[in-house]
Amino acid sequence: MYKKIYSLIKKYKNIVIARHIGPDPDCLASQVALRNIIKSKFPNKNVYAVGHSVSKFYHFGKLDKIREEIPKDSLLIVVDTPDKGRVDGVNISDFAYSIKIDHHPFIEKFCDLEFIDEQASSVCQMIIDLCDNTSLRLSKADAEILFMGIVSDTNRFLYYYTSAHTFEIVAKLIRKLKINTEELYAKLYARPLSEARLQGYIGMNMIVTDNKLGYIKISSEKISEFGVDSASAGNMINEFNNIKEIIVWMTFSQDPKNNIIRGAIRSRGPIVNEIASKYGGGGHKYASGLRLENWEQVDNFIVDLDNLCKKYIENNPEVK
Ligand SMILES: [Mn+2]
Q: Please give all residues whose CB falls under 5 A of ion ligand 1, grouped by chain where several chains appear.
A: 26, 80, 122, 153
Ligand 1: centre distance to CA 149 (Å) = 8
Ligand 1: centre distance to CA 128 (Å) = 14
**Distance in angstroms (rounded) separating the CA atoms of residues 27 and 107:** 17
Give the strand pairing for 97-102 and 113-116. Answer: parallel
Ligand 1: centre distance to CA 98 (Å) = 19
**Distance in angstroms (rounded) separating the CA atoms of residues 60 and 150:** 13
Ligand 1: centre distance to CA 104 (Å) = 7
Ligand 1: centre distance to CA 103 (Å) = 7
Identity of residue 3: K
Identity of residue 28: L
pLDDT at 53: 80
Best CA proximity match to 119, nearest among 83, 156, 159? 159
Ligand 1: centre distance to CA 25 (Å) = 8
Check pLDDT > 90 for residue 169: yes
Ligand 1: centre distance to CA 318 (Å) = 31
Ligand 1: centre distance to CA 155 (Å) = 11
pLDDT at 319: 86
Neighbours of 67 (CB within 10 A): 6
* Cβ 68 vs Cβ 74: under 8 Å: no
**Distance in angstroms (rounded) separating the CA atoms of residues 99 and 91:** 13
The more confident residue out of 44 and 54 is: 44
210-220 pLDDT, tens digit per residue, is 999 999 999 99
pLDDT band at 282 (very low <50, low <70, confident <90, very high): confident
pLDDT at 218: 96
pLDDT at 70: 81
Identity of residue 18: A
Ligand 1: centre distance to CA 125 (Å) = 9
Ligand 1: centre distance to CA 122 (Å) = 5
What percent of the chain shows pLDDT beyond 70? 100
pLDDT band at 83 (very low <50, low <70, confident <90, very high): very high
pLDDT at 272: 96
Mean residue pLDDT across the chain: 94
* The model's pTM: 0.83
pLDDT at 301: 98
Ligand 1: centre distance to CA 153 (Å) = 6
pLDDT band at 159 (very low <50, low <70, confident <90, very high): confident
CA 168, 173, 177, 182 torsion: positive or negative?
Answer: negative
Ligand 1: centre distance to CA 123 (Å) = 5
Identity of residue 284: H
| Ordered structural domains, the chain, with CATH | 2-189 (3.90.1640.10), 193-319 (3.10.310.30)
Check pLDDT > 90 for residue 55: no
Best CA proximity match to 145, nearest among 90, 99, 195, 183? 183
Ligand 1: centre distance to CA 163 (Å) = 15
pLDDT at 56: 75
Q: How many residues does the chain have?
A: 320
**Distance in angstroms (rounded) separating the CA atoms of residues 206 and 175:** 43
At residue 211, the 3 state secondary structure works out as coil
Residues in contact with 98: Cβ distance below 8 Å, sequence separation at least 6, in sequence order:
75, 76, 77, 78, 92, 110, 111, 112, 113
**Distance in angstroms (rounded) separating the CA atoms of residues 34 and 97:** 17
43-49 average pLDDT score: 95
pLDDT at 28: 95
* Cβ 151 vs Cβ 166: under 8 Å: no
Helix (H) or strand (E) run with residue 234 in it: helix 232-235
pLDDT band at 57 (very low <50, low <70, confident <90, very high): confident
Please list the helix, strand and coil fractions of the chain in percent, rounded to the nearest 5, in that order. Answer: 45, 20, 35
The more confident residue out of 243 and 70 is: 243
90-109 pLDDT, tens digit per residue, is 999 999 999 999 999 899 99
Check pLDDT > 90 for residue 232: no
**Distance in angstroms (rounded) separating the CA atoms of residues 3 and 131:** 10
Ligand 1: centre distance to CA 154 (Å) = 9
> Phi, psi at residue 182, to the nearest 5°?
-60, -45
pLDDT at 320: 77
pLDDT at 235: 85
Ligand 1: centre distance to CA 27 (Å) = 6
Q: Which of 13-17, 227-231, 246-250 has the lowest mean pLDDT?
A: 227-231
Neighbours of 152 (CB within 10 A): 20
Ligand 1: centre distance to CA 304 (Å) = 26
